Structure 1
Amino acid sequence: MTAETADMSFASDGGDGTSPPHNIEAEQAFLGGLLYDNEIFNRVSDWLLPEHFYDPFHGRLYAKARELIGSGALADAVVLKNRLADDDGLKQLGGPVYLVDLMREAPDSVSAPEYARLVYELALRRELIAIGETISSQARDTSEQGNANSLIENAERELFSLAEKGTAQKSFQPFSAALAQSLEVAAAAYKRGGQLSGIASGLRTLDEKLGGLHRSDLIILAGRPSMGKTALATNIAFAVARAAEFEEGPDGKRRVIKGKGGVVGFFSLEMSSEQLATRLIADYTGIPGYLIRQGRIDQNQFGEINDGVREISEVPLYIDDTGGISIGALAARARRLKRTVGLELLVIDYLQLITGGSRRSESRVQEISEITMALKSLAKELDIPVIALSQLSRQVEQRDDKKPQLSDLRESGSIEQDADVVMFVYREAYYLERAEPKEGSEEHLRWEDEMREIRNLAEVIIGKQRHGPIGAVKVAFDPERTKFSDLEDSGRYSSRD
């Protein structure tokens, strides 16, 4: 039998059209090839899993072979007959002679992976049928809670999970697998000289505290209005997108080299995409954004803007400026972006402008709780850091010490609980500027001296971090460019230097 003939018969045992799509002969052909030549495993191990086999015994046989080959041992009929001697499935199929027959009828090593792809394809079809039946059942049941849009969002989430990982649901994994993932993170940090295990934010001093932006983390960036939280989030997003490096994958598609920046999705619920782009041009060229918006630029500056736009037009930053978007729609669009072009970082400006997916929320606190839980789940599902901006309550303004605290978060309980990292942006100059004494007085002279010292200073206060220390990081802030930078770099006018 060839891979082509196997593809013609989805239900090889029965073929009456009532069985889920499967092909026992393709499973036998692949397993025979694997037992004959264990090197085939290296060509399919990334995507073919035991649960993709329709016959339960074939799944157990493949699992045992994976275990042996992964440990450097030989997996053939002789070895496996001892490992599976008590397996009732093998006994029903004729005992050890079944394994010998698999090897005897094995296809050549070139064809075996094609049978594996067919096994995988049919497993996906079975999962699709299961998802479709669930969707159909829920859509027909009008007593089911939730509206049609929520059903669509749930269906899209299930389909995304299937497309990304080949299975509609994630189940228990052995501790050894979790340890292997932890070792990968440690190895990545070690290869970088112990500097970062996450994605660089563009601010070295902040990265030293955080170790970079970590996958699956929900990062809350909070501050009072005009503190610069949008500016900081934009700076981070731009830095990550500009640092992206790509390589061509085996399927011919471009993919991001992990740890080198990447595709960034930016939900700008307050500012338009044009306003955000103007900020980024100001960041890149060094020309103040308000001059660009007002048209108060000369011919040379206009030429610089044109050149800058050409230079950064290919930066993989995607902006969605839909106002009042629901958490379900936001998650669906993020999944779609990851599926179509990739996604390494998601930024949301800001949390309180998202609407909940349920109309049954009794209060805004309950709705925010639903949103933060969904964002944390999205960070884990997409395996990316998610930065969500948040407003602070007015109680900050009532204190003498106006440095923000965790208790200042609006609807703070759920936000603080679900976040892996909570950071605050604080600029003392904002408050001092509004306390200007009478001009010409001694107090005004002292005020001017103090303003000169702190005008371009800011603090990023880490109020919570699950995986590291808390504390404050001093950074430079250029209000004309709405640009944050490390203090030692603040003397440089253009970010292109």
Structure 2
Amino acid sequence: MNDKQESVQLNVLPHNVLAEKMVLAGIIANPHLIHKIINILHSEVFLDNNYRKIYNLIINSYKRINNIDFLTIINILTQQNLLHYIGKEEEIQELGNTLVNNNYFEEYTYLLLDKFFRRCIIDHSNKLLELVTNELISLETILNKFEQFFFDINKNKPISNNQLQITHLLNNFILNTESKNKQISEHFINSGFKDFDILTQGFQKSDLIIIASRPSMGKTALGLSITKNIAQHHNLCAAFFSLEMPSEQLIYRMISSESRISLFKLRSGSFTSNEWKIIEQTIYKLSKLNLYIDDNPKITISKLRSKIYQLLQNNNKLSIIIIDYLQLIESENKTSNRNLELSIITRSLKIIAREFNLAIIVLSQLSRSVESRNNKRPILSDLRESGCITKLNLIYGTSSNTKIQDLHIKKPQLIYCYNNNIIVLSSINKLIHSGKKIIYQIITESGYYIEATSNHKLKTCKGWKTIRNISINDQILLVHKYRIQNMTNNYYINNISELDYTFYQAFPESIKNIHLIDQDYCYDIEMSNINNFVANQIIIHNSIEQDADLVCMLYREDYYNNSNIQPLDVSITEVSILKHRNGPTGKFELLFEPQFVHFKEI
């Protein structure tokens, strides 16, 4: 941006140059404030180009040095010839301390956010105007863009500081607890199956739930049953997105399940007078349900978000979304790597669940690898779309670096992960043994290496990439350990004369070589909260189920062992909860009646 363009912006767009200067002075004079504002303010909040450069320098220096102080910031700004834009050292210190001591810092911070928010609205309005006046762009595309603009603006909206205070969060907890005691909580949605609800305590709003199985296990039937139960017994609204089956077939299934008239008979159209009465009563009963069915076979995440938004505008009781099924959701950014696309889709579904405060159940098809095993009962690793690493790779933890095959999950363990440009500790949920697989080795310029399957994702400077899509032109993120010893700083530490402090930092390094090794035994780790971990000092991803709060698997033993040509009238279905972020795992059984495509409790 040249000086003339910046001058026009400063004269036209909403801004407050004095507030920008005051906030920067407050940060420079009081560096301990950086950790409070680093996730709230970003450089675009500053309209003045020089102030934006100063803020970027401070934040980047903070990420590198961590314990940054006043003099360090002054030296950095002096070296970059930027200090004079704020003022002299004494002026900055006096201005910044006055701002903080009089409790004006937060007010000026939110003033900046307010101006930035208004600039966002102007910017998106101009972009929308360009789209509307271009008649080559379809109306549907314009409407999708409009909604996306709205979400982008809302995402940057200033947040009241009260919402971030612990007192506000504790008050919410008390209110929620009182509501639960009065049995009027709106946060949990029962499935209608007693054993299911005992284990889950009901589906929680903002959760992503995955129900997975091989074909013909009853995923769609269970999804429809849950949808109907929620709409029928809880006076809530539900939406079922069927990407595989047309709505007509779903209606047949729902009528059969509710009326106890076989699906075959319904399709034949031959009924007794008594059956006609039952069907009429069933149709009347189903017509009262607060239920939407969408059978558009081509749906993307942006279209799904748009439809959910429209449904919520029409019905504020919408509480749960069911999608049948995950692998049929289309990617908006087509790549040759479908596994990566699915990972992005599941992450987007989790974001939508939180964005609209809805529970989202997504049905998922398990891979054919289940059929190749003697024991065909599905396990969590059957759902995974990412790869695994070899048994000798070192996992970085608090106590020591341990080979992945030697990890002991029975006792709590913390290992290092990558979270928002910071290396943090997170706990392990489960160690997964994935069997013997073909392995590739990636070696960096300085000799660091990782051995993993071709579909395992590594953190690169351009985002997550699978090994099969990484080239020697890419840079991957490595983690280095730093130790600070024999430091005395009584301002921060009282009664301690010596500080011994270790921290980790991520940095990029180029790839030197990628080559195929051989087959080897592989493992992966399921984390509690963060979807990656550090192995051999390299940041690697793990599974798509990391995005899910609840993962269920369906299994019917008789599907594989039934020697009769004719299907059984009643089949026992095992429902296993293999992952539950907010509670216990476990399993229970339901009776499945294929002729009525109906699930019921035993």
TM-score by length of 2: 0.50
Q: Does 1:377 align with 2:492?
A: no
1:408 Cα shift? 0.9
Among 170, 176, 179, the residue aligned to 2:170: 179
1:473 Cα shift? 1.0
In the superposition, relative to structure 1, how do residues 303 and 426 fare at CA in structure 2: closer, same or farther (>3 Å)? same
Among 214, 219, 222, the residue aligned to 2:212: 222
1:468 Cα shift? 0.8
1:3-152 equivalences under 5 Å are 130-137=120-127, 152=143
Among 351, 373, 390, the residue aligned to 2:326: 351
1:284-295 equivalences under 5 Å are 284-295=258-269
1:220 Cα shift? 0.3
Q: Does 1:471 align with 2:586?
A: yes
- Range with greater deviation from structure 2 (217-226 or 338-347): 338-347
In the superposition, relative to structure 1, how do residues 215 and 170 fare at CA in structure 2: closer, same or farther (>3 Å)? farther
Q: Does 1:386 align with 2:360?
A: yes
Among 290, 293, 298, the residue aligned to 1:324: 298
Question: Does the 8 A contact of 2:195 with 2:588 survive in 1?
Answer: yes
In the superposition, relative to structure 1, how do residues 459 and 297 fare at CA in structure 2: closer, same or farther (>3 Å)? same
SS state of the match for residue 595, structure 2? coil
- Range with greater deviation from structure 2 (308-317 or 203-212): 308-317
Partners of 1:425 and 1:408 lie apart in 2 by 12
- Letter in structure 1 aligned against 2:330: T
Q: Does 1:191 align with 2:182?
A: yes
Q: Does 1:420 align with 2:410?
A: no
- Letter in structure 1 aligned against 2:376: K
Name the counterpart of 2:314.
340
Name the counterpart of 1:210.
200
In the superposition, relative to structure 1, how do residues 310 and 182 fare at CA in structure 2: closer, same or farther (>3 Å)? same
- Letter in structure 2 aligned against 1:338: L
Question: Does the 8 A contact of 2:124 with 2:149 survive in 1?
Answer: no
Partners of 2:548 and 2:167 lie apart in 1 by 27
1:364-418 deviation per Cα after TM superposition (whole angstroms, max 9, x unaligned): 0111011101100000011111000000011111112111011111625542110
- Letter in structure 1 aligned against 2:358: I
1:181 Cα shift? 3.2
Q: Does 1:406 align with 2:396?
A: no
SS state of the match for residue 204, structure 2? coil
In the superposition, relative to structure 1, how do residues 355 and 408 fare at CA in structure 2: closer, same or farther (>3 Å)? same
Question: Does the 8 A contact of 1:188 with 1:197 survive in 2?
Answer: no
Alignment RMSD, CA only? 3.7
- Letter in structure 2 aligned against 1:354: I
1:470-496 deviation per Cα after TM superposition (whole angstroms, max 9, x unaligned): 111111211111111211xxxxxxxxx
1:198 Cα shift? 1.2
Among 300, 310, 319, the residue aligned to 2:284: 310
Name the counterpart of 1:31.
none
1:138 Cα shift? 7.8
In the superposition, relative to structure 1, how do residues 376 and 230 fare at CA in structure 2: closer, same or farther (>3 Å)? same
SS state of the match for residue 267, structure 1? strand
Partners of 2:246 and 2:340 lie apart in 1 by 28
Unpaired runs of 5+ residues, structure 2, are 1-11, 15-100, 106-113, 132-136, 387-541
The answer to which structure has the higher helix fraction is 1
Partners of 1:318 and 1:272 lie apart in 2 by 13
1:159 Cα shift? 3.2
- Letter in structure 2 aligned against 1:346: I
Among 138, 143, 146, the residue aligned to 1:155: 146
Question: Does the 8 A contact of 1:159 with 1:168 survive in 2?
Answer: no
- Range with greater deviation from structure 2 (207-216 or 310-319): 310-319
Partners of 1:134 and 1:383 lie apart in 2 by 25
Name the counterpart of 1:200.
190
Partners of 2:176 and 2:554 lie apart in 1 by 28
1:21-43 deviation per Cα after TM superposition (whole angstroms, max 9, x unaligned): xxxxxxxxxxxxxxxxxxxxxxx
Q: Does 1:239 align with 2:229?
A: yes
- Letter in structure 1 aligned against 2:208: L
1:311-351 deviation per Cα after TM superposition (whole angstroms, max 9, x unaligned): 22121100110002111101110111112212110000000
Partners of 2:278 and 2:13 lie apart in 1 by 65
In the superposition, relative to structure 1, how do residues 223 and 156 fare at CA in structure 2: closer, same or farther (>3 Å)? same
In the superposition, relative to structure 1, how do residues 362 and 180 fare at CA in structure 2: closer, same or farther (>3 Å)? farther
Among 565, 577, 585, the residue aligned to 1:462: 577
Partners of 1:355 and 1:300 lie apart in 2 by 45
Partners of 2:601 and 2:175 lie apart in 1 by 29
Partners of 2:358 and 2:547 lie apart in 1 by 15
Name the counterpart of 2:523.
none
Partners of 2:127 and 2:360 lie apart in 1 by 33
1:432 Cα shift? 1.6
Equivalent pairs, count: 337
Partners of 1:179 and 1:153 lie apart in 2 by 38
In the superposition, relative to structure 1, how do residues 186 and 303 fare at CA in structure 2: closer, same or farther (>3 Å)? same
Partners of 2:158 and 2:276 lie apart in 1 by 53
Question: Does the 8 A contact of 1:186 with 1:197 survive in 2?
Answer: no
Name the counterpart of 2:40.
none
Partners of 2:150 and 2:120 lie apart in 1 by 11
1:179 Cα shift? 2.8
In the superposition, relative to structure 1, how do residues 243 and 363 fare at CA in structure 2: closer, same or farther (>3 Å)? same
In the superposition, relative to structure 1, how do residues 418 and 300 fare at CA in structure 2: closer, same or farther (>3 Å)? same
Partners of 2:357 and 2:327 lie apart in 1 by 23
Question: Does the 8 A contact of 1:221 with 1:388 survive in 2?
Answer: yes
Partners of 1:333 and 1:415 lie apart in 2 by 24
Question: Does the 8 A contact of 1:327 with 1:357 survive in 2?
Answer: yes
Partners of 2:339 and 2:564 lie apart in 1 by 37
1:196 Cα shift? 10
1:295 Cα shift? 1.4
Q: Does 1:486 align with 2:601?
A: yes
- Letter in structure 1 aligned against 2:192: G
- Letter in structure 1 aligned against 2:220: T
1:355 Cα shift? 0.6
Question: Does the 8 A contact of 2:187 with 2:205 survive in 1?
Answer: no
- Letter in structure 2 aligned against 1:218: L
Partners of 1:171 and 1:378 lie apart in 2 by 22
1:278-316 deviation per Cα after TM superposition (whole angstroms, max 9, x unaligned): 111112111112211121322211221112111221211
SS state of the match for residue 241, structure 2? strand
Partners of 2:342 and 2:213 lie apart in 1 by 17
SS state of the match for residue 189, structure 2? coil
Partners of 2:251 and 2:234 lie apart in 1 by 18
Partners of 2:149 and 2:166 lie apart in 1 by 25
SS state of the match for residue 480, structure 1? helix
